Structure 1
């Protein structure tokens, strides 16, 4: 599989940036629009409209293109930005989304909710609806979030470590059956060679990241950036000293967390305690 592409500063407007990337990827393959349609399995005229910016296509089409071009998650991340209302995605978050799609390794601390890369559709649906999304917009955002998981499941996946506060695993969904599915998915992902899941028990006490969801991304160039998010705002941290300070806090938090094996056992206990059918 080709190495992940390094995103450069081309078009800054998300819709134009998406269309431009489609044109560049097809040119690199040397395909005509008709050849692309035959190989990917969609009407070639749709790809022409997408490359001209007349339409964005569906998540299914974009995922098929990601697979064909060997760019897992990249096009879907750009598509998500292009679909989103500009008022919802500030420039620093747009930049973070692109960096996430191209990251070779990631590590995260989740203090309150399951990380997006480990969410089931049902979990994402309830979480995003609680944030105010509804209707078609909600469906689009859930689909896009599910697409962000694909790089972890591919043939050349990035390494991902997630430290979950115990509180995350004790905050269930409204539907017990859907919560059971989410816990099972966590348990399954914890067995993947590229995924490490650790639980930070409440008994660990206070630490340096009490209410900050923190995602570290290392790019192909070896540079690490951090997305630090609270309930009200998020910030892309790129300055090396600030990144180092956050990394130190994360390292101390990791030292206090349960080992991967003990964390898997903790999730198994949560599965045993959680009912698998809706209460009547």
Structure 2
């Protein structure tokens, strides 16, 4: 077990997770291999997680919580672990997304991170930087848990048609990504509209932006470009972007028509018809 005796639980959330997993395992008298067999993972993976060399997944954490009878402690700690893998400037934004009661996003040429599939996220994150790609992808996908929690925010997305035609990651990746988007068609909490090319000039020409609404806190606008993103609670800015969003939704296709366009584009990327889940 490399460096297991010098693991510092206070060094990072990942180190704390590893030390807690080791503590729970040792309290039950299990070896790493024995725990791995119970969880259907290798003992080597258990060792890598315990020594903070591997980022655990939600599926792993839930299985480990069940077998080690932790009361869900590892899954709760995982939230902090995955947030710590995000860029420092984005960690506050991720927290805001968790607290928001309504999220409205507009992106003209990219599927939003909260809606991305694994392959699509890897292609986007790895376009110029392949370092720590597994960790960065896991951290991005973990944010999607906010759409699955007991009281999720109402989520509205206006996505430019260009984002759905750009073959990011190749045809198979795009087909999977589009099928994922279409799967939300009948989910009242996740509403997806496509802004078609035929809309022409539109209110979102200055660029992408997110709106976050809260029960007891000021509403926020989040924007980003090539550098760190920017949030503001300036009421005038929020009113301007909120009005822009209203116009974008009015220019976009309906939820039903958007789903149909997405299905048509799935066939475009595949070159043939596929059964739609």
Which of 195, 199, 215 lines up with 1:200 in the alignment?
195
Which residue of 2 is the match for residue 134 of structure 1?
130
Would you say 1:98 and 2:90 are equivalent positions? no
Distance 1:141 1:147, change over 3 A: same
Larger mean Cα displacement after TM superposition, 104-113 or 220-229? 220-229
Distance 1:245 1:267, change over 3 A: same
Give structure 2 stretches of 5+ with no counterpart: 1-9, 18-22, 29-37, 40-45, 66-70, 273-277
Which protein has the larger Cα radius of gyration, Structure 1 or Structure 2? 2
**In 2, Cα distance between equivalents of 1:191 and 1:170:** 23
**In 2, Cα distance between equivalents of 1:16 and 1:105:** 34
**In 1, Cα distance between equivalents of 2:252 and 2:58:** 40
Once the 2 structures are TM-superposed, how far is the Cα of residue 163 of structure 1 from its aligned partner? 0.3
Which residue of 2 is the match for residue 158 of structure 1?
153
**In 2, Cα distance between equivalents of 1:61 and 1:272:** 32
TM-score, with structure 1 as normaliser: 0.70
Would you say 1:122 and 2:119 are equivalent positions? yes
Would you say 1:262 and 2:264 are equivalent positions? no
Distance 1:271 1:158, change over 3 A: same
Give structure 1 stretches of 5+ with no counterpart: 1-14, 23-32
Q: How does 1:183-222 map to 2 (within 5 A)?
A: 183-222=178-217
Q: Is the 8 A contact 1:163 1:257 kept in 2?
A: yes
Once the 2 structures are TM-superposed, how far is the Cα of residue 80 of structure 1 from its aligned partner? 3.4
CA deviations over 1:85-118 (Å, ceiling 9, x no partner)? xxx433xx33211111222221100111001011
Once the 2 structures are TM-superposed, how far is the Cα of residue 254 of structure 1 from its aligned partner? 1.2
Greater relative contact order (Cα < 8 A, sep 6+)? 1
**In 2, Cα distance between equivalents of 1:226 and 1:152:** 19
Once the 2 structures are TM-superposed, how far is the Cα of residue 244 of structure 1 from its aligned partner? 1.3
Does the residue aligned with 1:248 lie in a helix, a strand or coil?
Answer: helix
TM-score, with structure 2 as normaliser: 0.71
